[in-house]
Amino acid sequence: MTIIRAKDQSISTAARCAVAAVLAVLSCHSQAIAAESAAGTRRIVWSAEPVVIPPNTPRRFFEGLWGSSVYPLGNGRLGCTVFDGIAEEHIQFNEDTLWTGDEAETGAFQNFGDMFITIEGHADASPTNGTYRRELDIEKALHTVTYEHAGTRYRREYFASHPANVMVFSFTADKKGAYTGTVSLRDAHPGGEINAAGGTITLSGALRPGQIKLKYEAQAMVLNQGGSVSAANGVVSFKGCDSLLILLDAGTDYLNQRDKGWKQQHPHQRIVERLAKAAGRSFDDMLAEHIKDYQQLFNRVTLQLGDTDAETLKLSTGDRLKAYQSQKPDPDLEEMLFQYARYLMVSSSRPGDLPATLQGVWNPYNWPPWRSDYHTDVNVEMNYWFVDAANLSECFQPLAEWVNSIREVRREATKKEFNVRGWATRSENGIFGGATYHWVPGDASWVAQNLWDHYAFTQDKEYLRTRAYPVLKELCEYWEDSMKTNSAGKLVSPKSQSPEHGPFAEGNSYEQQLAWDLLNNYIEASEALGADSEYRKKVVDMKARLLGPQIGKWGQLQEWAEDLDDPQDRHRHLSHLIAVHPGRQISPATTPELAEAAKVSMNARGDGETGWSKAWKICIWARLRDGDRAYKLAGEFIKGNVYPNLWGCCPPFQIDCNFGYAAGVGEMLVQSHLGVVELLPALPKAWPTGSVRCLRARGGYEVDMEWKDGKLARALIRNVSSPTGECVVRISGVTSKINISPGQAKEFTGKEL
């Protein structure tokens, strides 16, 4: 079982949500599986070459080789990247709680260590004989390596099991006695100990003093069929084995509860028990359990965006990307990147664990790029934009639990810094509540937007009451105490910087738009819960007095209260466009003049910049109902910001690139942020015919669609969790109200509205 790091109430809520979600999509599962069986398995990332990183490679080159080539596995808590060498297999692994830092300092997500499996007699093996293939099947979350050497066919199969809560590595061959070699572990930190006894290697230590000193441990258990296994000098040796099964687990004594000093018992006993339980089972049994568990999430959504020609489908993933860069159409690749984001989310964010960092749960450094932390000025929010729409609501729970765990630390730090109620944060954040870099008042409200959106999709009142609402109210109190009245009588935020950009000034659009969003969400949350009616009136008044979005002298949506925007500015951040996406203050449907100003600003920013910036631009153009411009950005993202292993890059690898792309695809197909379920609001001409099954919409609905020649052919909307069933639907500008009883569905075509 997973280490429980959430309070009892949140665990029970998560469990209820999971059960409800499974029951709600049973029909969806069967449709998805049937659709995939008909289409054939194509969601495989593969290569005919192992990852080769020469010794002593400088870090700046290592990132390019590692981040572009390794295949990631994860079960939410544990993660690993696989190099797939023949003579030596190298597996770098992580566990999500191994962090430095404390309540004042962000710290950084840490590399846990490495496992090496050397195969005797394979030093001269080469993949050039045409038999080598490594692949990641994202439909099964299964990694496979096959090759022939000296007349023997070798096979490796790896997965990270969520039910067993360990990582599993199988080595088999078609001849007996084919495996002789060693297994070893390497600690990524100095001062640890590595010991081996029987078939188990134990790595243990403690992070450096001066901060919260987490204790950590990892164990690798080597199980053999045939031959023998022995241990000496911290290494397990195997000789003449028919097959090997290696189980790997790791953990720390971190606990996400401040009142217990962020600590629980040493992880040793938990690791021993998990490995012992897994060791008593067969590989086939654990694999079947793993696939069933994973596909209960992954198989919920199917997406077809068109047909890719058979010759392109035969190419390795890297070669398909090269063909795409040469203008070769590949709608299957565009679809697979959406599903790959879902794979990465399931693999790095499960209930009971920490949320996905800037690099998910995959990080080979002790001082990683941007700390591999929770950047709150766009990045962690972008990680979770798509989760509910992509029918992975359970994967959102870690973000809500992390926010809940750091609230008290942030309240104290905010009181000390600004002497106000509520809380704010800096842009770099860790797991103990510590934060560094600039204070950015809007950041906390942006994360709260994610919290509200999860409720908007699920309609889970218990979650709203225990997790989202307390945060929304505290942040309203922050703005109540912090905002100033300007000379025009409007409420403006205190001096701050538009994230990573521009002067420090009052009334930045970043803060103004996020404050509007927060106050608006609080009002709706208070009404939904029937809570705090008197305070709600005060918040309604605050919202009415906020300085709203301004249009500047060249027709742009202003980034600052004053008209300071430079039309030549190509900055990667789009902070003054939050009201378009992921907010709901500006839309062509409700505020057409402001929407036009947003287009002017977007055109001025251009279509370039980093991978995550392009991904956000996909979302914004989709919200502005320009599907072709959104698709152009999607294509440029794939051509310039996707590695051969399909990881998105900033550069370097940054997982919000993948997640932001998936959010953009979802926005092109279904939008529901304005209280209306709008179907195909930004369908690009490049996807004239396609289908999608089981996307989620706010209000508690689920959508199936088929379209042909750019128009809706059929739609089915299910009431998954709406208490009223009053659904407003918009197709091609036509709006209609339909009633769908709880648990029921309504099928229609565009002509019926």
List, as one string, the DSSP characters of 195-236: EEETTEEEEEEEPPTTS---EEEEEEEEEEESSEEEEETTEE
| Matching residue, tokens 């560094």 | 436
Q: DSSP for 547-589, please give it.
A: ----B-TTSPBPSSSSS---TT---S--GGGTTTTT-SS--TT
Q: What are 549's two structure tokens? A: 């979005």
Of the candidates 237, 200, 240, 234, the one whose C-alpha atom is nearest the C-alpha of residue 219 is: 200
Q: What's the CA gap between 426 and 667, in Å, rounded?
A: 29
Residue 477: Cβ within 10 Å count: 16
Q: What's the CA gap between 527 and 565, in Å, rounded?
A: 38
Q: 592-605 and 611-623 helices cross at what angle (nearest 10)?
A: 150
Boundaries of every domain in the chain: 8-306, 373-548, 688-753
User: Which DSSP letter does residue 370 get?
Assistant: G
Torsion over CA: 346, 351, 353, 356 (sign): positive
* Residue type present at position 552: G
Residue ranges for the chain with pLDDT beneath 70: 1-42, 59-61, 128, 209-210, 750-753
Q: What are 329's two structure tokens? A: 């159409």
Strand positions, DSSP E, 538-682: 670-671, 677-679
Tell me what pLDDT residue 126 has.
75
Whole-structure pTM value: 0.94
Cβ contact 488:496 at 8 Å? no
Tell me what pLDDT residue 25 has.
39
Residue 561 backbone dihedrals phi, psi, to 5 degrees: -60, -35
Q: What's the CA gap between 588 and 671, in Å, rounded?
A: 13
Q: What's the CA gap between 20 and 18, in Å, rounded?
A: 5
Radius of gyration of the chain (CA): 26
Q: DSSP for 108-126, please give it.
A: -B---EEEEEEETT-TT--
Q: What are 230's two structure tokens? A: 């022995």
Q: What's the CA gap between 357 and 656, in Å, rounded?
A: 9
Strand 726-731 to 677-679 pairing: parallel
Q: What's the CA gap between 84 and 154, in Å, rounded?
A: 12
Q: Which CATH number fits domain 8-306: 3.30.70.580, 3.30.1490.100, 2.70.98.50, 3.30.930.10?
A: 2.70.98.50
What is the SS3 assignment for 414-477? HHHHHCCCCCCCEEEECCCCCEEEEECCHHHHHHHHHHHHHHHHHCCHHHHHHHHHHHHHHHHH
Residue 301: Cβ within 10 Å count: 23
pLDDT, tens digit (0-9, with 9 covering 90-100), for 636-666: 999 999 999 999 998 899 999 999 999 999 9
Q: What's the CA gap between 220 and 212, in Å, rounded?
A: 26
Tell me what pLDDT residue 382 has.
98
Mean pLDDT, the chain, rounded, equals: 92
Q: What's the CA gap between 559 and 442, in Å, rounded?
A: 14
Torsion over CA: 463, 464, 469, 472 (sign): positive
Q: What's the CA gap between 583 and 446, in Å, rounded?
A: 9
Q: What's the CA gap between 479 and 506, in Å, rounded?
A: 13
Angle (CA) 333-334-336 rounded to 5° is: 60
Q: 442-458 and 509-529 helices cross at what angle (nearest 10)?
A: 40
Classified by CATH at the fold level, domain 373-548 comes out as Glycosyltransferase (1.50.10)
Q: What's the CA gap between 106 and 111, in Å, rounded?
A: 16
